[in-house]
Amino acid sequence: MKAMKKLRSGSLGALLFVSLLTLNACKTDKSEVKPDDGVPVFVDKKWATVSSTVSPKIDLDGDGTPDEDLFAPVPDCEKDDMILMQRDGKYFLDNGEKKCNATDPASEQLGTWKYTAATKTILISDTEGNEQHWLVLESTATRLKMQNTTAIQDTNYTLTVVMKAN
């Protein structure tokens, strides 16, 4: 996963990136929050991945069995990682307390983001200019659910990621 920190459009790494960040228990908050200043509720919060699935299933580990759960095989050192979308449009990865490599920085900018309320879409651009569009399915003060569809070798894969605020 550390090698997949930069989003790459049209690759499995692009599908897996957001899903492979973190794990924590999830509380469901059913009320949608809309801040008075027009800033999306997910801004300036650290988000930990709770679950991540892909459809159709794909054989990620080469064992011949297609996988739907993208989060289960994530190394423990990456399960405490979090993302942060700052108000200024910068997108960061917080590497958490469990580092995969002792030299991993505490936090690093991965690129930029922009939210379009009319389409409920987050455009994420990595530092190399590659872009991904994520549809926000649910956004509350404590829960963020997003979806991305990417074509890989003539197959469309839909990734659904659920995150909780920390």
Residue-wise pLDDT for 77-90, tens only, equals 999 999 999 999 99
**Average pLDDT, integer, range 35-47:** 83
Q: Provide the mean pLDDT of the chain.
A: 81
Cα 5 from Cα 68, distance rounded (Å): 21
The reported pLDDT for the residue numbered 24 is: 30
Cα 122 from Cα 146, distance rounded (Å): 9
- Residue 60's pLDDT band, with cuts at 50, 70 and 90, is confident
The reported pLDDT for the residue numbered 37 is: 63
Q: Give me the domains of the chain, ranges plus CATH numbers.
A: 2-165 (2.40.128)
Residue-wise pLDDT for 122-162, tens only, equals 999 999 989 999 999 999 999 999 999 999 899 999 999 99
Tell me the torsion sign for CA atoms 130, 165, 158, 122: negative
**Average pLDDT, integer, range 30-37:** 43
Contact present, 120 and 131 (Cβ < 8 Å): no
Higher pLDDT, 111 or 33: 111
